[in-house]
Structure 1
Amino acid sequence: MLARMSKTTDSMESLIQLLDVVDTLPGATALRARSYELLDLAEGSAVVDVGCGAGRAAGELAQRGARAIGVDVSEEMIALARHRWPQADFRVGDARELPLKDGEVAGYRAEKVFHELQDAAEALAEARRVLAPGGRIVLIGQDWDTFIIDSDDPALTRTIVHARADLTPNPRAARRYRNLLLEAGFEHVALEVHTGVFTNGAMLPMLTGIAEAARSAGAITPAQEASWVNEQRQRAQQGRMFLAVPIFLASGGRP
């Protein structure tokens, strides 16, 4: 039991470390700023950041003058967010049942959330409930089937990427953002694509993680995992790693 608890704690700490690295990359900072522009919030307006994690976006929105509310299913993440960003309001909650009143917020933001949801339509119905008429919604996320990774073994790389995608509840949600918003009744729906390109070791933990997941799923052998990870480590050390991730950013308005 203690071993399992220790492993869970280690996994959470590793996730937080990876999120901190990703969140401070220049491309990620610019993408968050663009999402805030698309929310188009008036001073003092209430906004919810769903799946807020350690709270960076909610904290930044509060610094910009919004009444920011961060919601996450993880009590550990909410506790960390409250410590890091005391100027925002953080609550434990689920995207399908938000701890908010009808029409309470003028803005709804969710980053890297909808690929974790089996039923995106249910979450968008909840988004419409909590948004006031005229409120804005912004969704951000990557399509897990479209990771582009340079490798000496492209066939094995393709197997690893697709195997990892298949372990995700809704891996292709991001490519459906526009249609999902339209189907949910949002208006003036727009879509942008921003590509994150990584050529150093900052994202090596993500690459080793998807290889481990593919091996755990039985899609590749331990020997294939070791070979592929070793190649990516060498590329990172030599400054020759290449990972490109298309990020989809969709926005719309509540009638």
Structure 2
Amino acid sequence: MASMSKNQEVQEVQEVQEAQGAVEEHRDTEALLAVLDSADQMPSATRLRARSYELLSLVPGSTVVDVGCGAGRAVAELAERGVHAVGVDPSAWMLAAARERWSQGEFREAGAEDLPFADGSVHGYRADKVFHVLQEPGRAVAEARRVLCPGGRIVLVGQDWDAIMIDSDDAALTRTIVHARADLLGTPRAGRQYRGLLLAGGFDDVTVEVHTSVFTEPAMLSLLTRLAEPACASGAVGRDQADEWLAEQRRRAETGRFLVAIPFFVASASASA
């Protein structure tokens, strides 16, 4: 009986830990959604999404998959353009938000390396701000090539996390924070690697554009918090340094001197026949 009691205690602890983990994931998702919503509503982001749709060479009625769809904005916008848009994301929390916001959309839970589509069944593939979190982006490119039909279009959009530019009185500390945050990601320099990845994946007609978005709105302070806090947690900077840096950025926002510039890479290509 004592052994059973001990096992029950262990099970209860595990259940509590799992519940706490779910709550934390929900909180993280809510925080990320707030950042994404602020960024997505800016004119530069709207233009960038529109450009990605143009590069897909949309065919009315064809299937287009938005990988890493998040809360589903692009899926809704693609559907408005007359295609069968399907959003794919590995996060159940994100998909729940997407289904709540866009009840008419189609969303599936899956990762970029294992898409729920038959070979050659998709005409368009779009991944926006996805590849930097992948450990092996080459696998995702191979999976994109598998599901795309001959002549199908792929468009990759994303920032280079090592190239984020932030106006600050302490340039050295800013560089440390930016690079420390980048180093915690799977492939932080994925944007500059898009061309090589697509060529290695056997795609044709590969092109690359760079669009730099400039943010001066205080709403983007949350992005800097998401840079500084992980950098602090990793030990790259001290607590006092992170707090002082964030305080400076808040002062800049209050006095109209806040500026963040992020280069976004947009790569497109066609699946070979």
* TM-score category of the 2 structures, normalised to the smaller one: over 0.9
Q: Secondary structure at the match of 1:204?
A: helix
1:232 to 228, 249, 268: 249
Q: Secondary structure at the match of 1:162?
A: helix
Shift of 1:104: 1.1
Q: Aligned in 2, Cα 1:43/1:93: closer, same or farther, shift over 3 Å? A: same
Q: Which runs of 5+ in 2 are unaligned?
A: 1-15
Deviates more, 1:235-244 or 1:2-11: 2-11
Q: Secondary structure at the match of 2:213?
A: strand
Give the distance between the partners of 2:210 and 2:155, measured in 1 at CA.
Answer: 13
- Name the amino acid aligned to 2:80: Q
> What's the counterpart of residue 47 of structure 1?
64
1:141 to 134, 158, 162: 158
CA contact 2:164–2:261 (8 Å) conserved in 1: yes
Give the alignment of 1:1-255 within 5 angstroms: 1=16, 3-255=20-272
Give the distance between the partners of 2:151 and 2:227, measured in 1 at CA.
Answer: 40
Shift of 1:86: 2.6
Q: What's the % identity of the aligned pairs?
A: 58
Q: Secondary structure at the match of 2:210?
A: strand
Give the distance between the partners of 2:137 and 2:26, measured in 1 at CA.
Answer: 29
| Matched positions, count | 255
- Name the amino acid aligned to 1:226: D
Q: Which runs of 5+ in 1 are unaligned?
A: none
TM-score scaled by length of structure 1: 0.97
Give the distance between the partners of 1:125 and 1:233, measured in 2 at CA.
Answer: 43
- Name the amino acid aligned to 1:213: P
CA RMSD of superposed structures (Å): 1.0
Shift of 1:9: 2.2
Off by >6 Å, runs of 4+ in structure 1: none
Shift of 1:5: 4.0
Q: Secondary structure at the match of 1:102?
A: coil
> What's the counterpart of residue 7 of structure 2?
none
Give the distance between the partners of 2:92 and 2:23, measured in 1 at CA.
Answer: 17
- Name the amino acid aligned to 1:64: R
- Name the amino acid aligned to 1:19: L
